[in-house]
Amino acid sequence: MVYRELLQEGEKIILVVVDGLGGLPVLGSFTELELANLPNLNSLAKRFPVGALESVGAGITPGSGPAHLSLFGYDPLKYRIGRGILEALGLDMEIREGYVAIRCNFATLKDGVIVDRRAGRISTEENRRIVEKLKKINKVEDVEVIWESGKEHRFVMVLRGEGLSEEILETDPGREGERPLDPEPLEASAEKTSRILKKILEISREILKDEERGNFFLMRGYAKLPKIEKFEEKWGLRAFGTASYPMYRGLAKLVGMYVPKDTPDFEAELAELEKNFDNYDFFYIHYKDADKAGEDGDWRKKVLALERFDSYIPRILKLGGIVAITGDHNTPSLLRSHSWHYVPLLITSLKAGVPTAWSFTEREAIKGSLGIRKSYELIPLLLASANRLKRFGA
Amino acid sequence: MVYRELLQEGEKIILVVVDGLGGLPVLGSFTELELANLPNLNSLAKRFPVGALESVGAGITPGSGPAHLSLFGYDPLKYRIGRGILEALGLDMEIREGYVAIRCNFATLKDGVIVDRRAGRISTEENRRIVEKLKKINKVEDVEVIWESGKEHRFVMVLRGEGLSEEILETDPGREGERPLDPEPLEASAEKTSRILKKILEISREILKDEERGNFFLMRGYAKLPKIEKFEEKWGLRAFGTASYPMYRGLAKLVGMYVPKDTPDFEAELAELEKNFDNYDFFYIHYKDADKAGEDGDWRKKVLALERFDSYIPRILKLGGIVAITGDHNTPSLLRSHSWHYVPLLITSLKAGVPTAWSFTEREAIKGSLGIRKSYELIPLLLASANRLKRFGA
């Protein structure tokens, strides 16, 4: 796009992502944002412009990966991040270009046939114990093999090396009573990867043979990093990102942001933001609790999560710079899940537009002067408001 | 696009462009449009539909060139008009397909090295005197050379002839203490143009050698007209355009509108519009003062400019036809420059949509029934409202 030609230095920008921000009416009439007591957000909404964002497209409920990419200014339909990568990021594994990440499930075989595709949903502790045994396989040919336990029967394997491919047949036949498939290459360039995976399976079978449940595992969601332009190159912003959950930290790292360690909660994230404020131009900070409450279908808990978030606002504003407050997607308690609806947006600058709202709610947001835009248009709006975009044409 | 298939005869259309129309809150609360006393505009806004336009894209502040192209129905990202062309249009020079227009600066050389890239910002009078001397160079090979003074150290050179190219190295090294670069060809087809420019520089050096300041000049922004479909072919409208500033007249000519001479102010433009009303289908008229006041950062002056504009409305309405009132972009006094924000729009026809507003302001515009659209979608809306578009499909 034309933006790169127009970049110049300007003010600092803070992007506050309230995960699962917006909702739908509960009690038949009001949303969580309308029910919550949000003195700071509502005061900002009266004084500054609001609007609404859509991550992907009409009716499309985004996962955290596409939703965040969109907020970072990447069209999520152009940059698709494979499931293996997202799982690996969620376990805080390091992923670089060329690596292949694979979602694995422990399974139970009997006479070579799958009798349980999830190994009886073994406990996370059991999982850790068995994965520890698999870690003996740390290199095959010139390729390093990294293992990381997930929850219950799930774990992730990452291959690091040259000439790897994600074009491999998934080994899960999708139902019990069948034999696992072999990780055959789906294109000629995948032969090396296929050979290595077969070798890994062969050794694993031997290592796991005495396990009652989880004496084998199935592989799917093979994924490499998509080729993605770094955030700093794309938008001319030295970027900092902080989140308490590994997946969001991983997404920030994926686009090249600096991400500090040891941020177990929002309080810690905020402390890191404050500490690093002089050294970057752009700051992404992630608030998780609204989403969790929405996923639980607990609107009271979501109201409380939003109220807790509201209490942090003065501390964020104190830093200076232009602050955008929005969500990666809505998580209405009514749906107990992410949703496709327009996400409320607020930008704390009168340069961004005229104020139009009386409160920070879904109903006010969609009528706001920032309009209804794709999430990946937010960064340009923020750049403009921070005086970071030159005029286009004379 | 599909529009061409659907064109038919219909009513006349007047497009009134209030340059720099919209703004941002001044005094911390109201915009210039909200502060101004605009009885005619506000009455129209109550009776007719309003909406909002965006020239290019999120956060992109357009120059006058792209902003006008967009209003004339051309996507400004597809049709990029080079800097040389815009400068030439701004000096009322005639530009046709195949010509190359070049921005030039007088500079001061000493022993072949640039000691002042702007020749001490010589006066416009000095500039005229020196350019007069350069006009001796009026033909090199079969190519005509046209010179026109700008302000201070700036002027424009236009080459007219066959086989010319804009792919030439800019000669300004960008800093003092270096030698000017040679206008080398950047592709094989630019050799003729390069040769001619070198010849012009050689003769110029001799002509200018006794000048104390401005004994040489630097060249950049080489540009040819982009291939652009004429407005009449594209939209089936015999088009008239009038403006008091050369650049806007030039943009109207560029798309093939008939543009009368001698329109030093809005009063004169309006008189020409009235005189020519029977002979065309489409009329573009340009009001400059709101933009000037905004660029000066003077909201009181902008309020007065808007009020003066308002007083002309009855005279415009009297003509008949459908009138659209909008801007090419906003120029908020707060920013002292063009801006990227949605531009208010009003169409004086109930066929265009339902009325929704109480006044003609930014806040009302973005909630209007015409929606928020790209500026280049306005002409189709006007065609439809003027009964000039047939049904698409059966």
Structure confidence by residue, pLDDT tens digits, B169-202? 999 998 899 999 999 999 999 999 999 999 999 9
Give the residue-averaged pLDDT of A185-206: 96
pLDDT in tens, B234-292: 999 999 999 999 889 999 999 999 999 999 999 999 999 999 999 999 999 999 999 99
- pLDDT, residue B86, reads 87
pLDDT in tens, A336-355: 999 999 999 999 999 999 99
For chain B, count helices (H), then strands (E).
14, 13
Alpha helices in A135-245 (DSSP H): 191-208, 231-235
List CB contacts (< 8 A) between B25 and chain A: 350, 354-355
Using an 8 Å Cβ cutoff, are B130 and B211 in contact? yes
Q: Do B60 and A354 touch (CB under 8 A)?
A: no
Using an 8 Å Cβ cutoff, are A211 and A127 in contact? no
pLDDT in tens, A52-78: 999 999 999 999 999 999 999 999 999
Nearest beta carbon to residue B335 from set A351, A354, A355: A351
pLDDT in tens, B304-331: 999 999 999 999 999 999 999 999 999 9
What one-character DSSP code corresponds to residue A222?
E
For β-strands B239-242 and B282-287, DSSP reports them as parallel
Q: How far apart are CA B288 and CA B264, in angstroms?
A: 11
Give the residue-averaged pLDDT of B119-128: 93
Using an 8 Å Cβ cutoff, are A371 and A57 in contact? no
The neighbour count for residue A110, using CB atoms within 10 Å, is 9
Q: What does residue B334 show for φ and ψ, rounded to 5 degrees? A: -55, -35
Go through A356-384 and write b for each residue having 16 or more CB atoms within 10 A of its CB, e for each that does not. bbebbbbebbbbbbbbbbebbbbbbbbbb
Tokens of B169: 């190295």
List CB contacts (< 8 A) between B375 and chain A: none
For β-strands A322-326 and A343-347, DSSP reports them as antiparallel
- pLDDT, residue B27, reads 80
List CB contacts (< 8 A) between B337 and chain A: 391
Nearest beta carbon to residue B334 from set A350, A356, A394: A350
Half-sphere exposure of A388 (CA within 13 A, CB side): 25
- To test the contact with chain A by mutation, choose from B53, B71, B103, B340 the residue with the greatest count of A C-beta atoms within 10 A, namely B340
- The residue with tokens 């090249």 is A256
The neighbour count for residue B167, using CB atoms within 10 Å, is 16
The neighbour count for residue B393, using CB atoms within 10 Å, is 5
The total number of residues written for chain A in this structure = 394
List CB contacts (< 8 A) between B87 and chain A: 394
Q: How far apart are CA A318 and CA B31, in angstroms?
A: 27
pTM, entire model = 0.90
- In angstroms, the separation between the Cα of residue A156 and the nearest Cα of chain B is 39
List CB contacts (< 8 A) between A385 and chain B: 59
What one-character DSSP code corresponds to residue A225?
-
Q: What does residue A147 show for φ and ψ, rounded to 5 degrees? A: -120, 145
- pLDDT, residue A308, reads 98
Q: Do A350 and B25 touch (CB under 8 A)?
A: yes
Q: Which one is predicted more confidently, A377 or B82?
A: A377
Using an 8 Å Cβ cutoff, are B321 and B12 in contact? yes
**Nearest C-alpha in A relative to B82:** A393
- In angstroms, the separation between the Cα of residue B203 and the nearest Cα of chain A is 31
DSSP A340-379: -SPEEEEES-TTS-----SSSSHHHHTTSTT-EEEGGGHH
